[in-house]
Amino acid sequence: MARSLIDLLAAHASNHPQRTAYRYLVSGDSDGEVQDISYARLVGRSRAIAAWLQDRGLSGARAILLYPPGLEFICGYLGCLSAGVVAVPGVPPQGRSQNHRALTRMKRLIADADAKVILGGRDVVAALGTMAEHLPELAEITCVATEDIPDDLAGSWQEPDLTADSVAFLQYTSGSTSAPRGVMVTHGNLLDNERVIAERMGHTPDAIAAYDNELFVSWLPVYHDMGLIGPVLNTVYLGATSTLFSPLHFLQRPTRWLTAVSRFQPHTSGAPNFAFELSLKHAAPDFVDGLDLSRWRVAFNGAEPVRAATLRRFTETFAPAGFRQEAHYPCYGLAEATLMVSGSTVDSPPVLVEANTTGPHAGAADAAAVGSGRLGPGMTVVIADPELCEELPEGEVGEIWVGGASVAKGYWRNTLATRETFRATLTDREGRFLRTGDLGFLRDGELFITGRLKDLMVIDGRNHYPQDLELSAEMSHPALRPGCTAAFSVDTAAEDEGEGEQPVLVAEIASEAAGEAEKITDMVRGAIGEAHGLAVRDVVLVHPGTIPKTSSGKIQRHASRAAYLASSLSVVGAPATT
């Protein structure tokens, strides 16, 4: 029985050494330059890197991984696991153009992880050499470009003494509501969650064989859990083949994603909801006519609210290319549970719960809540009253608590936060649970996500979820960018009107719609008033790309609120104030 992904990698390299593990589209174009690596080459490179680490007595230490998109990150990551070194994926620096925020994050990462070594690509290591003035911490850390580690070191590799409880890597959370923390993911957590992903996404041996081993196409960043645990590590877990390319190349030309899906015909590919919206914006008829999406079986959608309108429009737009409604695959997960908690049923359409939305601004179907699927095998979910710590009946909204072997060990060097988040107990049920901070409910075995506990707005004694207001706003006018709206409340009790908490909407609009700002503002106010019975204190229209988001694309409402209060938003025209 495999003790780690390293055991499985060795088995795949033995059973089918020449099979391609990964191909990388250098320019993002399916007909451009392609780099690939076989399982035999992958195990050789990972062992060479591991031996280099072992020779320097780094087993058990933390290694920060700073790589540009490409195959070398995978070799470095698996090299750490092969050496018993704790990998710490990070965002690579951008040379001399590093901004203050990125430098601050890197300082914190180095200090918090107590890293002893930095592994990276040649260009990254060269860039680090120019940053000593801003990052004096680098003087105490060994930096190495892993491309320069010779292959023949693999012969001196020694198998590490790993157990299921050994920490494999630290996944620093994206910090949508708090400072990032290092989640300790063990080798046992990884194996269990890869099993959950494979089961829920239908990655059976028969399915993989039917797809000629083509498992994923992905542009998702590999330093983030969705891009790493899914496309990269599930590939190694199953011994399949996956196609990767850079997130930047997707953002520069969104058509590259579906072109790659059409070209390589994978079983599974997906992204946060915004990527489906971005694809819709670039879906010219001649582009759609040239695609073949008929074999795309799992189009997963997670990491941010899944919009019913997006699913409907994507299906309608790409049906001529063979895309099926049943391929949509909403799912839910978080770094603290390694990744996946729940996912849709393969070959079944998404489950919708109709919302009580009427009027001219939105159809009820498009405003419906989208189910995030059923629990992975071995996973437990309880909907709890977050204050009373009691399980709530089916259909009631509460905090989502998760149990199972995929739940991580805790937060690195943070005993208090570990106890508060990973050691929750119910008053009427045995066992320990992970408090996710997410709100949701269960209905007929389907998990629905309604929002974040810390983002919940209580106005006039009623609970309001910001994403509900955001959706109503975005559907009020086509110039509002989907997934680019932040709703939050501000306390006006200290002001003359003394009305307490009131909602504020900050929304990005298309540049060409600046002349309609007043009309758009009025329509947003009308939509919020009609759908939610709320008078909006402020509607602030801002330029595209200015609303703060996490590395996984989640709206940072607290940061948006802080920018609003500091009057530092990039406003289109003047904010409308009542």
CA 502, 453, 547, 492: dihedral to nearest 10 degrees?
20
Residue predicted with more confidence, 498 or 238: 238
What's the per-residue H, E or C state across 207-221?
HHHHCCCEEEEECCC
Categorise residue 95: left if φ over 0, alpha if ψ from -120 to 50, beta otherwise: left
CA angle 209, 215, 217 (to 5 degrees): 150
Q: Note the pLDDT of residue 455.
A: 80
Q: 238-254: per-residue pLDDT in tens?
A: 999 999 999 999 999 99
Give ranges for CATH 3.30.300.30 in the chain. 456-577
Most confident of the following: 225-229, 499-503, 543-547 = 225-229
State the pTM of this model: 0.84
Beta partners for residue 38, in sequence order: 20
Task: Look at residue 44 and tell me whether its pLDDT is greater than 60.
Answer: yes
Q: Note the pLDDT of residue 174.
A: 60
Q: Superfamily for 5-333?
A: ANL, N-terminal domain (3.40.50.12780)
Determine the distance from the C-alpha atom of residue 528 to the mean position of all C-alpha atoms in its chain, rounded to a whole number: 29
CB atoms within 10 A of CB 177: 16
Q: Are 493 and 551 in contact (CB under 8 A)?
A: no
Question: Percent of the chain having pLDDT more than 90?
Answer: 68
Residue predicted with more confidence, 484 or 134: 484
Q: Are 378 and 407 in contact (CB under 8 A)?
A: no
Mean pLDDT of 296-300: 98
The closest of 258, 275, 196, 181 to 229, measured between CA atoms, is 196
Give ranges for CATH 3.40.50.12780 in the chain. 5-333
List the end-to-end C-alpha distance of the chain, in Å, as a whole number: 65
The region of weakest confidence among 75-79, 291-295, 421-425, 556-560 is 556-560
Q: 368-404: per-residue pLDDT in tens?
A: 889 999 999 999 999 999 999 999 999 999 999 999 9
DSSP state of 326: G
Q: Note the pLDDT of residue 459.
A: 79
Average per-residue pLDDT for the chain: 90
**396 Cβ contact list (under 8 Å, min separation 6):** 383, 441
Categorise residue 573: left if φ over 0, alpha if ψ from -120 to 50, beta otherwise: left
The region of weakest confidence among 73-82, 423-432, 434-443 is 423-432
Helices (H), 247-337: 247-252, 255-264, 273-281, 285-289, 308-318
Q: 173-222: per-residue pLDDT in tens?
A: 865 445 678 999 999 999 999 999 999 999 999 999 999 999 999 999 99
Q: Note the pLDDT of residue 497.
A: 47
Q: Note the pLDDT of residue 177.
A: 46
Task: Look at residue 358 and tell me whether its pLDDT is greater than 50.
Answer: no
CA angle 294, 296, 298 (to 5 degrees): 145
- Give the fold, CATH level 3, of 456-577: GMP Synthetase; Chain A, domain 3 (3.30.300)
The region of weakest confidence among 253-267, 410-424, 457-471 is 457-471
Q: Note the pLDDT of residue 462.
A: 72
